[in-house]
Chains A and B, each alone.
Chain A
Amino acid sequence: MSQFLILITLLIATGLLLQLEFAFYIAYVCAGLYVWSRWYTPLAMRRLRIARRFADHAFLGEPVPVTLSFTNTGWLRLPWLQYLEGTAVELPTTDNTKRAFSLSRGETAVFTYQIHAMKRGYYRVGPLYLSSSDLFGLAQEQRSQLPPSHLTVYPRLIPLSQLGLPSRLPFGTVASQQRLFADPARPMGVREFRSGDSLRQINWKVSAHTRDLMVKTLQPAISLETAVLLNLHLGDYQRQERYHTIEWAITVAASLAAHLSQERQAVGLLSNGTDPLRPARVPSSERMMVPLTPRTGRAHLMKLLEQLARIAAEDTVPFNQWGTTACQPLNWGVTLLVVTASGDEATCQTLHRLVRSGYNPILLLVEPSANFGLVRQRAHHLGFAAFQVIEDKDLRVIGQEKLK
Protein backbone atom coordinates (compact mmCIF):
# COMPACT_ATOMS: atom_id res chain seq x y z
CA MET A 1 0.00 0.00 0.00
CA SER A 2 1.94 2.92 -1.34
CA GLN A 3 -0.44 5.36 0.39
CA PHE A 4 1.08 4.47 3.71
CA LEU A 5 4.56 5.19 2.43
CA ILE A 6 3.39 8.61 1.26
CA LEU A 7 1.97 9.25 4.74
CA ILE A 8 5.23 8.26 6.40
CA THR A 9 7.15 10.54 4.04
CA LEU A 10 4.76 13.39 4.77
CA LEU A 11 5.15 12.86 8.50
CA ILE A 12 8.93 12.86 8.31
CA ALA A 13 8.91 15.92 6.07
CA THR A 14 6.57 17.74 8.48
CA GLY A 15 8.76 16.75 11.38
CA LEU A 16 11.89 18.01 9.67
CA LEU A 17 10.44 21.24 8.30
CA LEU A 18 8.54 22.26 11.42
CA GLN A 19 11.18 20.75 13.72
CA LEU A 20 8.56 18.73 15.55
CA GLU A 21 10.07 15.84 17.40
CA PHE A 22 6.78 14.08 18.09
CA ALA A 23 6.05 13.86 14.34
CA PHE A 24 8.94 11.40 14.18
CA TYR A 25 7.29 9.24 16.81
CA ILE A 26 4.10 9.12 14.75
CA ALA A 27 6.19 8.31 11.68
CA TYR A 28 7.90 5.52 13.62
CA VAL A 29 4.58 3.99 14.60
CA CYS A 30 3.34 4.13 11.00
CA ALA A 31 6.62 2.76 9.67
CA GLY A 32 6.66 0.04 12.31
CA LEU A 33 3.17 -1.00 11.36
CA TYR A 34 4.09 -1.02 7.69
CA VAL A 35 7.27 -3.05 8.16
CA TRP A 36 5.54 -5.48 10.49
CA SER A 37 2.70 -6.07 8.06
CA ARG A 38 5.04 -6.56 5.10
CA TRP A 39 7.36 -8.87 6.98
CA TYR A 40 5.04 -10.95 9.10
CA THR A 41 2.36 -11.99 6.61
CA PRO A 42 4.65 -13.97 4.23
CA LEU A 43 6.42 -15.47 7.24
CA ALA A 44 3.15 -16.61 8.78
CA MET A 45 2.10 -18.17 5.48
CA ARG A 46 5.36 -20.07 5.28
CA ARG A 47 4.79 -21.48 8.76
CA LEU A 48 1.40 -22.80 7.94
CA ARG A 49 0.98 -26.58 7.67
CA ILE A 50 -1.93 -27.84 5.64
CA ALA A 51 -3.18 -31.39 5.15
CA ARG A 52 -6.04 -32.90 3.20
CA ARG A 53 -7.27 -36.32 4.26
CA PHE A 54 -9.85 -38.49 2.55
CA ALA A 55 -10.38 -42.01 1.16
CA ASP A 56 -9.17 -41.73 -2.41
CA HIS A 57 -11.29 -44.61 -3.72
CA ALA A 58 -15.05 -44.77 -3.45
CA PHE A 59 -17.90 -46.76 -4.87
CA LEU A 60 -20.60 -45.00 -6.76
CA GLY A 61 -23.02 -43.14 -4.52
CA GLU A 62 -20.79 -43.23 -1.48
CA PRO A 63 -20.24 -40.00 0.49
CA VAL A 64 -16.57 -39.19 0.89
CA PRO A 65 -15.66 -36.99 3.84
CA VAL A 66 -12.69 -34.73 3.16
CA THR A 67 -10.87 -33.24 6.11
CA LEU A 68 -8.72 -30.15 5.80
CA SER A 69 -6.47 -29.27 8.66
CA PHE A 70 -4.49 -26.05 9.07
CA THR A 71 -1.81 -25.74 11.70
CA ASN A 72 -0.11 -22.51 12.58
CA THR A 73 3.42 -23.45 13.61
CA GLY A 74 4.47 -19.82 13.95
CA TRP A 75 4.86 -17.99 17.23
CA LEU A 76 2.17 -15.41 16.61
CA ARG A 77 -1.44 -15.41 15.51
CA LEU A 78 -2.21 -15.56 11.81
CA PRO A 79 -4.67 -12.65 11.46
CA TRP A 80 -6.86 -14.18 8.82
CA LEU A 81 -6.70 -16.97 6.31
CA GLN A 82 -9.08 -17.66 3.49
CA TYR A 83 -9.19 -20.98 1.71
CA LEU A 84 -11.02 -22.10 -1.36
CA GLU A 85 -11.07 -25.79 -2.10
CA GLY A 86 -11.66 -26.42 -5.77
CA THR A 87 -13.33 -29.72 -6.55
CA ALA A 88 -14.39 -31.23 -9.85
CA VAL A 89 -17.82 -30.11 -10.97
CA GLU A 90 -18.98 -33.72 -11.19
CA LEU A 91 -18.50 -34.09 -7.46
CA PRO A 92 -21.17 -32.23 -5.55
CA THR A 93 -20.26 -31.13 -2.05
CA THR A 94 -22.65 -30.74 0.82
CA ASP A 95 -20.68 -28.31 3.00
CA ASN A 96 -19.02 -25.05 2.15
CA THR A 97 -15.58 -25.37 0.69
CA LYS A 98 -14.70 -21.70 1.16
CA ARG A 99 -13.94 -20.35 4.57
CA ALA A 100 -12.14 -17.56 6.36
CA PHE A 101 -10.74 -17.89 9.82
CA SER A 102 -7.85 -16.93 12.05
CA LEU A 103 -5.29 -19.15 13.73
CA SER A 104 -3.63 -18.48 16.99
CA ARG A 105 -0.16 -19.74 17.84
CA GLY A 106 0.06 -23.51 17.55
CA GLU A 107 -3.62 -23.88 16.83
CA THR A 108 -4.98 -26.43 14.39
CA ALA A 109 -8.25 -25.76 12.67
CA VAL A 110 -10.02 -28.71 11.13
CA PHE A 111 -12.77 -28.36 8.56
CA THR A 112 -14.69 -31.21 7.00
CA TYR A 113 -16.83 -31.33 3.92
CA GLN A 114 -18.39 -34.22 2.07
CA ILE A 115 -18.07 -35.18 -1.55
CA HIS A 116 -20.75 -37.32 -3.13
CA ALA A 117 -19.42 -39.80 -5.68
CA MET A 118 -22.23 -39.47 -8.18
CA LYS A 119 -20.40 -40.61 -11.27
CA ARG A 120 -17.67 -43.06 -12.21
CA GLY A 121 -14.41 -41.36 -12.86
CA TYR A 122 -11.06 -40.17 -11.75
CA TYR A 123 -11.44 -36.73 -10.22
CA ARG A 124 -9.20 -34.15 -8.71
CA VAL A 125 -9.96 -32.88 -5.22
CA GLY A 126 -8.39 -29.50 -4.89
CA PRO A 127 -6.25 -27.52 -5.39
CA LEU A 128 -6.66 -25.62 -2.17
CA TYR A 129 -6.18 -21.91 -2.78
CA LEU A 130 -5.05 -19.91 0.23
CA SER A 131 -4.84 -16.19 0.72
CA SER A 132 -3.94 -14.09 3.70
CA SER A 133 -2.75 -10.64 4.56
CA ASP A 134 -2.39 -8.30 7.51
CA LEU A 135 -5.10 -6.59 9.52
CA PHE A 136 -4.63 -3.12 8.07
CA GLY A 137 -4.36 -3.87 4.37
CA LEU A 138 -0.78 -2.61 4.23
CA ALA A 139 0.72 -5.78 2.81
CA GLN A 140 -0.23 -7.41 -0.44
CA GLU A 141 -2.33 -10.52 -0.18
CA GLN A 142 -0.18 -13.62 0.04
CA ARG A 143 -1.46 -16.49 -2.05
CA SER A 144 -0.42 -20.11 -2.10
CA GLN A 145 -1.99 -23.42 -2.87
CA LEU A 146 -2.02 -27.04 -1.86
CA PRO A 147 -1.77 -29.31 -4.93
CA PRO A 148 -4.82 -31.39 -5.79
CA SER A 149 -5.34 -35.00 -4.75
CA HIS A 150 -7.41 -37.49 -6.74
CA LEU A 151 -10.47 -39.54 -6.05
CA THR A 152 -11.34 -42.68 -7.97
CA VAL A 153 -15.00 -43.55 -8.18
CA TYR A 154 -15.54 -47.17 -9.24
CA PRO A 155 -18.11 -47.98 -11.91
CA ARG A 156 -21.50 -49.39 -11.07
CA LEU A 157 -21.69 -53.15 -10.61
CA ILE A 158 -24.84 -54.93 -11.67
CA PRO A 159 -25.71 -58.65 -11.18
CA LEU A 160 -25.54 -60.64 -14.38
CA SER A 161 -29.24 -61.41 -14.30
CA GLN A 162 -30.02 -57.71 -14.43
CA LEU A 163 -27.80 -57.36 -17.46
CA GLY A 164 -30.12 -59.68 -19.36
CA LEU A 165 -27.45 -62.31 -19.99
CA PRO A 166 -28.04 -66.04 -19.64
CA SER A 167 -27.12 -67.33 -16.23
CA ARG A 168 -24.66 -69.89 -17.57
CA LEU A 169 -22.54 -68.35 -20.23
CA PRO A 170 -19.69 -70.54 -21.39
CA PHE A 171 -17.27 -68.53 -19.32
CA GLY A 172 -13.88 -70.02 -18.76
CA THR A 173 -14.21 -73.83 -18.74
CA VAL A 174 -15.11 -75.24 -22.12
CA ALA A 175 -14.97 -78.73 -23.52
CA SER A 176 -11.98 -79.18 -25.74
CA GLN A 177 -12.07 -81.21 -28.89
CA GLN A 178 -8.35 -81.80 -28.75
CA ARG A 179 -7.29 -84.41 -26.25
CA LEU A 180 -4.34 -82.61 -25.01
CA PHE A 181 -5.45 -82.27 -21.46
CA ALA A 182 -7.31 -84.94 -19.53
CA ASP A 183 -9.28 -83.87 -16.50
CA PRO A 184 -8.89 -86.48 -13.68
CA ALA A 185 -12.15 -85.22 -12.21
CA ARG A 186 -14.00 -86.35 -15.32
CA PRO A 187 -13.48 -90.17 -15.79
CA MET A 188 -14.89 -91.43 -19.09
CA GLY A 189 -14.05 -95.19 -19.04
CA VAL A 190 -11.16 -97.71 -19.25
CA ARG A 191 -9.05 -99.28 -21.99
CA GLU A 192 -6.26 -101.78 -22.33
CA PHE A 193 -2.81 -100.76 -21.25
CA ARG A 194 -0.49 -99.62 -23.99
CA SER A 195 3.18 -99.07 -23.91
CA GLY A 196 3.95 -95.56 -22.75
CA ASP A 197 0.94 -95.17 -20.52
CA SER A 198 1.66 -93.75 -17.10
CA LEU A 199 1.47 -96.23 -14.27
CA ARG A 200 -0.57 -93.67 -12.36
CA GLN A 201 -3.33 -93.96 -14.97
CA ILE A 202 -3.81 -97.76 -14.33
CA ASN A 203 -7.16 -98.56 -12.79
CA TRP A 204 -6.06 -101.29 -10.42
CA LYS A 205 -9.48 -102.42 -9.34
CA VAL A 206 -10.70 -102.99 -12.90
CA SER A 207 -7.32 -104.58 -13.84
CA ALA A 208 -7.76 -107.07 -10.97
CA HIS A 209 -11.26 -107.81 -12.00
CA THR A 210 -10.43 -108.42 -15.67
CA ARG A 211 -6.98 -109.85 -14.90
CA ASP A 212 -5.49 -107.54 -17.51
CA LEU A 213 -3.93 -104.15 -17.14
CA MET A 214 -6.51 -101.53 -17.77
CA VAL A 215 -5.94 -97.72 -17.74
CA LYS A 216 -8.46 -94.96 -17.02
CA THR A 217 -9.72 -92.88 -19.88
CA LEU A 218 -10.58 -89.29 -18.91
CA GLN A 219 -12.82 -86.71 -20.62
CA PRO A 220 -10.63 -84.21 -22.35
CA ALA A 221 -11.13 -80.67 -20.86
CA ILE A 222 -9.31 -77.34 -20.51
CA SER A 223 -9.75 -74.54 -17.99
CA LEU A 224 -9.46 -71.35 -20.05
CA GLU A 225 -8.99 -67.73 -18.99
CA THR A 226 -11.39 -64.91 -19.72
CA ALA A 227 -10.65 -61.40 -20.91
CA VAL A 228 -13.01 -58.50 -21.39
CA LEU A 229 -12.42 -56.59 -24.59
CA LEU A 230 -13.97 -53.18 -24.15
CA ASN A 231 -14.30 -51.08 -27.24
CA LEU A 232 -14.17 -47.39 -26.32
CA HIS A 233 -13.42 -45.90 -29.68
CA LEU A 234 -15.71 -42.88 -29.91
CA GLY A 235 -16.36 -43.33 -33.63
CA ASP A 236 -17.86 -46.76 -33.07
CA TYR A 237 -20.70 -45.36 -30.98
CA GLN A 238 -23.72 -43.51 -32.26
CA ARG A 239 -23.51 -39.85 -31.57
CA GLN A 240 -27.00 -39.49 -30.15
CA GLU A 241 -26.73 -41.56 -26.99
CA ARG A 242 -22.99 -41.79 -26.90
CA TYR A 243 -22.45 -40.62 -23.36
CA HIS A 244 -24.88 -43.02 -21.76
CA THR A 245 -23.95 -45.96 -23.99
CA ILE A 246 -20.26 -45.68 -23.22
CA GLU A 247 -20.98 -45.52 -19.51
CA TRP A 248 -23.23 -48.53 -19.91
CA ALA A 249 -20.51 -50.45 -21.75
CA ILE A 250 -18.10 -49.75 -18.91
CA THR A 251 -20.72 -50.82 -16.39
CA VAL A 252 -21.26 -54.08 -18.31
CA ALA A 253 -17.52 -54.72 -18.48
CA ALA A 254 -17.11 -54.05 -14.77
CA SER A 255 -20.06 -56.24 -13.86
CA LEU A 256 -18.75 -59.13 -15.96
CA ALA A 257 -15.32 -58.82 -14.42
CA ALA A 258 -16.78 -58.74 -10.92
CA HIS A 259 -18.91 -61.77 -11.66
CA LEU A 260 -16.01 -63.77 -13.01
CA SER A 261 -13.82 -62.79 -10.11
CA GLN A 262 -16.55 -63.87 -7.74
CA GLU A 263 -16.55 -67.22 -9.56
CA ARG A 264 -12.80 -67.39 -8.85
CA GLN A 265 -11.90 -67.31 -12.49
CA ALA A 266 -9.04 -65.42 -14.00
CA VAL A 267 -10.20 -62.30 -15.77
CA GLY A 268 -8.35 -59.66 -17.70
CA LEU A 269 -9.18 -56.35 -19.33
CA LEU A 270 -8.23 -54.96 -22.70
CA SER A 271 -9.57 -51.68 -24.02
CA ASN A 272 -8.82 -49.08 -26.61
CA GLY A 273 -9.98 -46.35 -24.21
CA THR A 274 -7.48 -43.91 -22.75
CA ASP A 275 -6.09 -43.71 -19.27
CA PRO A 276 -5.88 -40.18 -17.82
CA LEU A 277 -2.77 -41.19 -15.90
CA ARG A 278 -0.85 -41.68 -19.13
CA PRO A 279 1.03 -38.59 -20.37
CA ALA A 280 -1.43 -36.11 -21.79
CA ARG A 281 0.79 -34.67 -24.50
CA VAL A 282 1.23 -37.85 -26.53
CA PRO A 283 -1.30 -38.83 -29.24
CA SER A 284 -4.48 -40.49 -28.05
CA SER A 285 -3.51 -43.83 -29.62
CA GLU A 286 -0.48 -43.91 -27.32
CA ARG A 287 -2.53 -43.05 -24.26
CA MET A 288 -4.53 -46.25 -24.39
CA MET A 289 -4.71 -48.18 -21.16
CA VAL A 290 -2.19 -50.85 -20.36
CA PRO A 291 -3.79 -54.34 -20.91
CA LEU A 292 -4.44 -56.27 -17.75
CA THR A 293 -3.79 -59.94 -18.34
CA PRO A 294 -6.19 -62.44 -16.76
CA ARG A 295 -5.61 -63.18 -13.13
CA THR A 296 -7.64 -64.22 -10.19
CA GLY A 297 -8.14 -62.64 -6.83
CA ARG A 298 -9.82 -59.61 -5.29
CA ALA A 299 -6.75 -57.44 -5.52
CA HIS A 300 -6.69 -57.95 -9.26
CA LEU A 301 -10.39 -57.19 -9.47
CA MET A 302 -9.88 -53.88 -7.63
CA LYS A 303 -7.07 -53.04 -9.98
CA LEU A 304 -9.32 -53.79 -12.88
CA LEU A 305 -12.18 -51.78 -11.48
CA GLU A 306 -9.83 -48.85 -10.81
CA GLN A 307 -8.75 -49.02 -14.41
CA LEU A 308 -12.38 -49.05 -15.50
CA ALA A 309 -13.06 -46.08 -13.20
CA ARG A 310 -10.38 -44.04 -14.89
CA ILE A 311 -10.89 -45.09 -18.46
CA ALA A 312 -12.28 -42.62 -20.98
CA ALA A 313 -13.53 -43.00 -24.55
CA GLU A 314 -11.62 -41.22 -27.27
CA ASP A 315 -10.88 -41.42 -30.97
CA THR A 316 -8.03 -43.85 -30.59
CA VAL A 317 -7.93 -46.98 -32.79
CA PRO A 318 -11.12 -48.49 -34.28
CA PHE A 319 -12.08 -51.87 -32.96
CA ASN A 320 -11.60 -53.58 -36.33
CA GLN A 321 -7.95 -52.64 -36.37
CA TRP A 322 -7.30 -53.00 -32.67
CA GLY A 323 -9.25 -56.19 -31.80
CA THR A 324 -6.99 -58.81 -33.36
CA THR A 325 -3.75 -57.21 -32.29
CA ALA A 326 -4.96 -56.56 -28.77
CA CYS A 327 -5.33 -60.28 -28.04
CA GLN A 328 -1.72 -61.16 -28.91
CA PRO A 329 -0.54 -61.12 -25.26
CA LEU A 330 -3.34 -63.51 -24.30
CA ASN A 331 -2.97 -67.27 -24.15
CA TRP A 332 -4.50 -69.53 -26.69
CA GLY A 333 -8.10 -70.45 -26.05
CA VAL A 334 -8.98 -67.49 -23.86
CA THR A 335 -12.64 -66.57 -23.78
CA LEU A 336 -13.07 -63.03 -25.02
CA LEU A 337 -16.09 -61.08 -23.86
CA VAL A 338 -16.19 -58.38 -26.49
CA VAL A 339 -18.21 -55.38 -25.29
CA THR A 340 -18.86 -53.06 -28.17
CA ALA A 341 -21.53 -50.85 -29.67
CA SER A 342 -22.80 -52.67 -32.76
CA GLY A 343 -22.39 -56.00 -34.51
CA ASP A 344 -21.78 -54.84 -38.04
CA GLU A 345 -20.07 -56.88 -40.71
CA ALA A 346 -16.59 -55.62 -39.90
CA THR A 347 -16.96 -56.38 -36.18
CA CYS A 348 -18.19 -59.90 -36.93
CA GLN A 349 -15.28 -60.48 -39.29
CA THR A 350 -12.86 -59.33 -36.61
CA LEU A 351 -14.38 -61.76 -34.16
CA HIS A 352 -14.26 -64.50 -36.75
CA ARG A 353 -10.54 -63.89 -37.13
CA LEU A 354 -10.25 -64.27 -33.37
CA VAL A 355 -12.10 -67.59 -33.57
CA ARG A 356 -9.71 -68.77 -36.16
CA SER A 357 -6.82 -67.65 -33.99
CA GLY A 358 -7.96 -70.04 -31.28
CA TYR A 359 -9.92 -67.74 -29.05
CA ASN A 360 -13.43 -68.08 -27.89
CA PRO A 361 -15.08 -64.68 -28.47
CA ILE A 362 -18.57 -63.73 -27.33
CA LEU A 363 -20.09 -60.58 -28.70
CA LEU A 364 -21.96 -58.34 -26.28
CA LEU A 365 -23.69 -55.40 -27.94
CA VAL A 366 -24.59 -52.43 -25.81
CA GLU A 367 -26.36 -50.28 -28.38
CA PRO A 368 -29.96 -51.15 -29.19
CA SER A 369 -30.32 -52.51 -32.72
CA ALA A 370 -33.41 -53.55 -34.69
CA ASN A 371 -31.37 -56.06 -36.72
CA PHE A 372 -29.94 -57.96 -33.81
CA GLY A 373 -31.47 -61.20 -35.14
CA LEU A 374 -29.40 -60.86 -38.27
CA VAL A 375 -26.30 -60.20 -36.23
CA ARG A 376 -26.92 -63.27 -34.11
CA GLN A 377 -27.42 -65.40 -37.20
CA ARG A 378 -24.24 -64.03 -38.73
CA ALA A 379 -22.33 -64.69 -35.53
CA HIS A 380 -23.62 -68.23 -35.39
CA HIS A 381 -22.38 -68.83 -38.95
CA LEU A 382 -18.99 -67.34 -38.08
CA GLY A 383 -18.56 -69.49 -34.98
CA PHE A 384 -19.24 -67.30 -31.99
CA ALA A 385 -22.19 -66.29 -29.86
CA ALA A 386 -23.76 -62.82 -29.75
CA PHE A 387 -25.86 -61.19 -27.07
CA GLN A 388 -27.51 -57.83 -26.78
CA VAL A 389 -27.09 -56.10 -23.43
CA ILE A 390 -29.10 -52.93 -23.72
CA GLU A 391 -29.25 -50.50 -20.93
CA ASP A 392 -32.48 -50.84 -19.14
CA LYS A 393 -34.01 -47.44 -18.54
CA ASP A 394 -35.57 -48.77 -15.40
CA LEU A 395 -32.20 -50.00 -14.33
CA ARG A 396 -30.77 -46.57 -14.92
CA VAL A 397 -33.47 -45.05 -12.79
CA ILE A 398 -32.94 -47.64 -10.10
CA GLY A 399 -29.25 -46.99 -10.24
CA GLN A 400 -29.74 -43.24 -9.92
CA GLU A 401 -32.08 -43.71 -7.03
CA LYS A 402 -29.51 -45.85 -5.36
CA LEU A 403 -26.98 -43.09 -5.89
CA LYS A 404 -29.22 -40.61 -4.24
Chain B
Amino acid sequence: MSTDSATSSPPLTNKIKRHLPGVEGVWAFIFADMVVFAVMFGSFMYDRSQNLALFEKSRQALNLDLGGINTLLLLTSSMLVVLALNALKLAKPRLAPIFFALALTCGLTFIVLKAIEYNQKFDAGISILSNDFFMYYFVMTGMHLGHVVVGNAILAVLLYKSRSAKAGDSITAYESGATYWHMVDLLWICLFPLLYLVR
Protein backbone atom coordinates (compact mmCIF):
# COMPACT_ATOMS: atom_id res chain seq x y z
CA MET B 1 0.00 0.00 0.00
CA SER B 2 2.67 2.42 1.04
CA THR B 3 4.77 1.35 -1.96
CA ASP B 4 1.84 2.12 -4.31
CA SER B 5 1.35 5.62 -2.97
CA ALA B 6 5.07 6.28 -3.19
CA THR B 7 5.19 5.34 -6.85
CA SER B 8 1.95 7.11 -7.84
CA SER B 9 2.94 10.56 -6.52
CA PRO B 10 6.24 12.40 -7.13
CA PRO B 11 8.65 12.79 -4.22
CA LEU B 12 7.89 15.80 -2.03
CA THR B 13 11.33 17.28 -2.64
CA ASN B 14 10.63 17.54 -6.38
CA LYS B 15 7.55 19.72 -5.85
CA ILE B 16 8.02 23.49 -6.05
CA LYS B 17 7.01 24.99 -2.72
CA ARG B 18 5.32 28.24 -3.66
CA HIS B 19 5.50 31.04 -1.11
CA LEU B 20 4.32 34.65 -1.11
CA PRO B 21 6.93 36.72 0.79
CA GLY B 22 5.59 38.60 3.81
CA VAL B 23 1.94 39.08 4.72
CA GLU B 24 -0.80 38.62 2.09
CA GLY B 25 -2.52 41.86 3.20
CA VAL B 26 0.58 43.86 2.27
CA TRP B 27 0.39 42.41 -1.23
CA ALA B 28 -3.31 43.30 -1.52
CA PHE B 29 -2.50 46.89 -0.49
CA ILE B 30 0.42 47.02 -2.93
CA PHE B 31 -1.67 45.86 -5.88
CA ALA B 32 -4.44 48.33 -5.00
CA ASP B 33 -1.84 51.10 -4.87
CA MET B 34 -0.35 50.02 -8.19
CA VAL B 35 -3.78 50.08 -9.84
CA VAL B 36 -4.33 53.66 -8.61
CA PHE B 37 -0.98 54.70 -10.11
CA ALA B 38 -1.72 52.83 -13.37
CA VAL B 39 -4.98 54.81 -13.73
CA MET B 40 -3.02 58.03 -13.22
CA PHE B 41 -0.50 56.94 -15.87
CA GLY B 42 -3.34 56.40 -18.36
CA SER B 43 -4.96 59.71 -17.43
CA PHE B 44 -1.63 61.53 -17.87
CA MET B 45 -1.10 59.99 -21.33
CA TYR B 46 -4.65 60.89 -22.40
CA ASP B 47 -4.29 64.53 -21.31
CA ARG B 48 -0.86 64.64 -22.94
CA SER B 49 -2.39 63.51 -26.23
CA GLN B 50 -4.85 66.45 -25.99
CA ASN B 51 -2.08 69.04 -25.59
CA LEU B 52 1.17 67.68 -26.98
CA ALA B 53 3.00 71.00 -27.40
CA LEU B 54 2.41 72.14 -23.81
CA PHE B 55 3.36 68.77 -22.30
CA GLU B 56 6.54 68.52 -24.41
CA LYS B 57 7.62 72.08 -23.61
CA SER B 58 6.99 71.50 -19.89
CA ARG B 59 8.79 68.15 -19.93
CA GLN B 60 11.91 69.87 -21.24
CA ALA B 61 11.95 72.01 -18.08
CA LEU B 62 12.50 68.89 -15.93
CA ASN B 63 15.95 67.96 -14.61
CA LEU B 64 16.71 64.69 -16.41
CA ASP B 65 19.97 64.09 -14.55
CA LEU B 66 18.36 64.29 -11.10
CA GLY B 67 15.53 62.00 -12.26
CA GLY B 68 17.98 59.47 -13.69
CA ILE B 69 20.20 59.52 -10.60
CA ASN B 70 17.11 59.01 -8.42
CA THR B 71 16.17 55.95 -10.51
CA LEU B 72 19.64 54.46 -10.00
CA LEU B 73 19.43 55.25 -6.26
CA LEU B 74 16.13 53.41 -5.83
CA LEU B 75 17.32 50.42 -7.88
CA THR B 76 20.50 50.22 -5.77
CA SER B 77 18.47 50.57 -2.60
CA SER B 78 16.14 47.75 -3.66
CA MET B 79 19.13 45.52 -4.42
CA LEU B 80 20.61 46.27 -0.98
CA VAL B 81 17.32 45.25 0.67
CA VAL B 82 17.46 41.97 -1.27
CA LEU B 83 21.00 41.44 0.06
CA ALA B 84 19.82 42.22 3.62
CA LEU B 85 17.05 39.64 3.34
CA ASN B 86 19.46 37.08 1.89
CA ALA B 87 21.80 37.70 4.84
CA LEU B 88 18.93 36.94 7.23
CA LYS B 89 17.88 33.84 5.28
CA LEU B 90 21.43 32.52 5.02
CA ALA B 91 21.96 32.83 8.78
CA LYS B 92 24.34 35.79 8.47
CA PRO B 93 22.23 38.29 10.47
CA ARG B 94 25.21 40.53 11.29
CA LEU B 95 25.35 41.66 7.66
CA ALA B 96 21.66 42.64 7.47
CA PRO B 97 21.91 45.96 9.42
CA ILE B 98 24.76 47.08 7.15
CA PHE B 99 22.69 46.48 4.02
CA PHE B 100 19.58 48.08 5.55
CA ALA B 101 21.64 51.14 6.56
CA LEU B 102 23.02 51.51 3.02
CA ALA B 103 19.52 51.08 1.55
CA LEU B 104 18.18 53.73 3.93
CA THR B 105 21.00 56.09 2.90
CA CYS B 106 19.94 55.71 -0.75
CA GLY B 107 16.31 56.35 0.21
CA LEU B 108 17.20 59.49 2.16
CA THR B 109 19.38 60.73 -0.71
CA PHE B 110 16.36 60.31 -3.02
CA ILE B 111 14.37 62.64 -0.75
CA VAL B 112 17.18 65.22 -0.69
CA LEU B 113 17.50 65.19 -4.50
CA LYS B 114 13.73 65.44 -4.90
CA ALA B 115 13.69 68.44 -2.55
CA ILE B 116 16.44 70.08 -4.64
CA GLU B 117 14.43 69.38 -7.80
CA TYR B 118 11.22 70.87 -6.33
CA ASN B 119 13.21 73.87 -5.15
CA GLN B 120 14.57 74.42 -8.68
CA LYS B 121 11.00 74.40 -9.99
CA PHE B 122 9.74 76.86 -7.38
CA ASP B 123 12.73 79.15 -8.06
CA ALA B 124 11.80 79.11 -11.76
CA GLY B 125 8.25 80.15 -10.84
CA ILE B 126 6.79 76.72 -11.60
CA SER B 127 4.12 75.30 -9.29
CA ILE B 128 1.29 72.75 -9.29
CA LEU B 129 -0.96 75.49 -10.75
CA SER B 130 1.34 76.35 -13.69
CA ASN B 131 -0.31 73.99 -16.19
CA ASP B 132 -1.74 70.46 -16.59
CA PHE B 133 1.68 68.87 -17.03
CA PHE B 134 3.00 70.31 -13.77
CA MET B 135 -0.25 69.42 -12.01
CA TYR B 136 0.44 65.77 -12.91
CA TYR B 137 4.15 66.18 -12.17
CA PHE B 138 3.62 67.49 -8.63
CA VAL B 139 0.69 65.19 -7.79
CA MET B 140 2.32 61.97 -9.05
CA THR B 141 5.86 62.67 -7.81
CA GLY B 142 4.41 64.06 -4.56
CA MET B 143 2.36 60.90 -3.97
CA HIS B 144 5.41 58.81 -4.78
CA LEU B 145 7.55 60.91 -2.44
CA GLY B 146 5.03 60.19 0.33
CA HIS B 147 5.57 56.48 -0.35
CA VAL B 148 9.36 57.01 -0.20
CA VAL B 149 9.05 58.73 3.20
CA VAL B 150 6.95 55.85 4.57
CA GLY B 151 9.40 53.37 2.99
CA ASN B 152 12.34 55.07 4.68
CA ALA B 153 10.56 54.86 8.03
CA ILE B 154 10.00 51.13 7.42
CA LEU B 155 13.68 50.66 6.48
CA ALA B 156 14.71 52.47 9.68
CA VAL B 157 12.52 50.09 11.74
CA LEU B 158 13.95 47.05 9.89
CA LEU B 159 17.48 48.37 10.45
CA TYR B 160 16.80 48.73 14.18
CA LYS B 161 15.11 45.31 14.39
CA SER B 162 17.86 43.55 12.40
CA ARG B 163 20.54 44.68 14.86
CA SER B 164 19.21 42.09 17.32
CA ALA B 165 18.28 39.45 14.71
CA LYS B 166 19.45 35.91 15.27
CA ALA B 167 19.77 33.00 12.86
CA GLY B 168 16.47 31.15 12.60
CA ASP B 169 14.26 34.14 13.53
CA SER B 170 11.08 34.68 11.49
CA ILE B 171 11.64 36.98 8.53
CA THR B 172 7.98 37.67 7.70
CA ALA B 173 8.17 41.29 8.95
CA TYR B 174 11.34 41.88 6.94
CA GLU B 175 9.75 40.39 3.82
CA SER B 176 6.67 42.61 4.19
CA GLY B 177 8.75 45.76 4.61
CA ALA B 178 11.03 44.79 1.74
CA THR B 179 8.05 44.15 -0.53
CA TYR B 180 6.70 47.64 0.19
CA TRP B 181 10.11 49.19 -0.56
CA HIS B 182 10.39 47.28 -3.85
CA MET B 183 6.96 48.63 -4.84
CA VAL B 184 8.26 52.18 -4.24
CA ASP B 185 11.13 51.37 -6.61
CA LEU B 186 8.75 49.76 -9.11
CA LEU B 187 6.43 52.78 -9.22
CA TRP B 188 9.35 55.15 -9.84
CA ILE B 189 10.62 52.87 -12.64
CA CYS B 190 7.27 53.54 -14.40
CA LEU B 191 6.78 57.15 -13.30
CA PHE B 192 10.21 58.43 -14.30
CA PRO B 193 10.06 57.58 -18.04
CA LEU B 194 6.45 58.71 -18.25
CA LEU B 195 7.15 62.21 -16.97
CA TYR B 196 10.77 62.74 -18.00
CA LEU B 197 11.37 60.64 -21.12
CA VAL B 198 8.16 60.37 -23.19
CA ARG B 199 8.58 62.89 -26.03
Q: Are A and B genuine complex partners?
A: no
- A residues sitting closer than 8 Å to B (CB atoms) are none
